[in-house]
Amino acid sequence: MNAPQTPDALQAPHTNAAWHARRLAATPRGVGVMGDFFIDRAKNAEFWDIEGRRFIDFAGGIAVLNTGHLHPKVQAAIAAQLQRFTHSCYQVVPYAEYVALAERINALVPIDGPAKTAFFSTGAEAIENAIKIARSATGRSGVIAFGGAFHGRSLFSVALTGKVQPYKAGFGPFPPEVYHVPFPCHCASLDDTKKAIEQLFKCDIEPSRVAAIVFEPVQGEGGFNPIQPAAVKWLRELCDQHGILLIADEVQTGFARTGKLFAMEHYGVSPDLITMAKSLAGGTTLSAVSGRQAVMDAPAPGGLGGTYAGHPLAIAASHAVLDVIEEERLCERAQRLGDKLIGHLIAQRAVRPRIGDIRGLGAMVACEFVDPKTGAPDADTTKKVQAAALARGLLLLTCGVYGNVIRFLFPLTIEDAVFDEGLSVLDAALAEVLA
């Protein structure tokens, strides 16, 4: 039997190298880790590792920290709830704060008519429950998703995901009746999507058996690809024609990231269901599904929920997050920071031809790296730019089906001086790699 571990296990040697070695010995390789350093403390858009090195955070815990690390109001809300109770399981002993947060979100989501909201723990849980709700409401089983999509790591959400490496490889077979079509963005036309769905309806599944079409208004892992506005309108019309429910996955796009509270507000189209997570709760674990009242009420009592779903500490944090977004005008700030970043990247592209497409919605911005002669995706250069920035203390994330995209997910609360410093570090990294 292994000896029990005590707090002494957290003591010396307290170095990144020592902890990295312990990580490799103690945790499975399937939990991939980008950095070989370990965080010790953080504040807003900065963090420090256990050896005291400072980093500027342009990753935000993968879009979780729109309100920054340890926002004082979020901290205070969690601390206050911690003095009252930490768990009862909402389905056993409910608490008022859950209901009040549902009411707030119902008033904010771009859903036609009265809305209802249920809380869960992760984005994947939100997606899985949205599909359950759609199947219950329609009595159908088929689901259509898109190439390049990312909807989570649980088995059904992986089936919906349209990116093989590293999410699907080796994990099949996947649940049946999930179909993928091209995503209508800068890299595929709406006509391509229309033809693929027409072919799908002729060859694979009749529309009367399709419960839902699920899409990200801006694909995350797929490369920060904003959907074409005309495509959203067409999807709404298609769903209305065939009695299919339209699900907007706003797990990564929600809560001011795109310059609106929800990205769907850019398109003027109302989905039937919206999933959300990540920046919903300021770094605590909370997700949600909101939707039209009649749709949300389809599952019978007991059909939805979870032991930790709508955890009291996360609910308290989410109330504070909504306050901060409103009080600090983070939607407007996201647009301003995004515009500044895009302008900065365009200026760099003028002298560095390996920078390809630059795109974004609000502060959900990405740039591609390509071979300047052929336009082919250049994942190698992307990794080098990421590594050069990290060596200088700037944390960046990559994405894209071909791994050639750098995405920017800095906290929207980032101080102007820290944002400008981050851009200077990025410039230095680009100069080193693309000299």
73 is written with which tokens?
């109001």
Q: Does the residue 4 lie in any domain?
A: no
52-84 per-position pLDDT tens digit: 999 999 999 999 999 999 999 999 999 999 999
- Residue 42 sits in the same domain as residue 80: no
Question: By C-alpha distance, which of 93, 126, 127, 107 is closest to 312?
Answer: 93
In a domain, 309, yes or no: yes
Q: Specify the pLDDT at position 1.
A: 44
**5 assigned to some structural domain:** no
| Residue 94 forms part of a structural domain | yes
Same-domain pairing of 314 and 195: yes
**Domain edge (last residue) among 327, 350, 384:** 327
Question: Distance between CA 370 and CA 403 in Å, rounded?
Answer: 11
149 plus 260 within the same structural domain: yes
Task: Report the distance separating Cα 344 and Cα 363, nearest Å.
Answer: 13
CA separation, residue 103 to residues 114, 338, 388 (Å)? 11, 30, 46
Domain finish residue from 284, 304, 327: 327
Number of domains in the chain: 2
Contact yes or no for 278/94 (Cβ under 8 A): no
Q: Is the same domain home to 148 and 116?
A: yes
Same-domain status, 210 and 64: no
Q: Spell out, as residue ranges, where the chain has pLDDT lower than 70.
A: 1-12
Residue 15: DSSP 8-state: S
**CATH number for the domain that contains residue 50:** 3.90.1150.10
- C-alpha–C-alpha distance, residues 364 and 224, integer Å: 7
Q: Please report whether residue 294 resides in a domain.
A: yes
Residues 300 and 406 reside in one and the same domain: no
Q: Which amino acid is at 184?
A: P
Residues 192, 175 share a domain: yes
Cα separation of 187 and 180, whole Å? 16
Are residue 298 and residue 271 in the same domain, yes or no? yes
The answer to whether residues 147 and 287 belong to one domain is yes
DSSP string, 83-133: TT-S---TTTS--HHHHHHHHHHHHHS--SS-EEEEEESSHHHHHHHHHHH
Question: Do 234 and 90 belong together in one domain?
Answer: yes
Q: Is residue 1 part of a domain?
A: no
Q: What is the DSSP string of 251-303?
A: TTTTTTTTSSSSGGGGTT---SEEEE-GGGGTTS--EEEEEEHHHHT-SPTTS
**What's the whole-model pTM score?**
0.95
CATH no. for residue 294? 3.40.640.10
Using the 3D structure, point to which of 275, 292, 327 is the last residue of a domain: 327
- Is residue 215 located within the same domain as residue 195? yes
pLDDT at 222: 93
Position 363 in a domain: yes
Domain range for residue 57? 11-70+329-433
Check whether residue 154 and residue 52 sit in a common domain: no
pLDDT, residue 424, reads 98
The answer to whether the CB of 141 falls within 8 A of the CB of 211 is yes
Is 2 part of any domain?
no
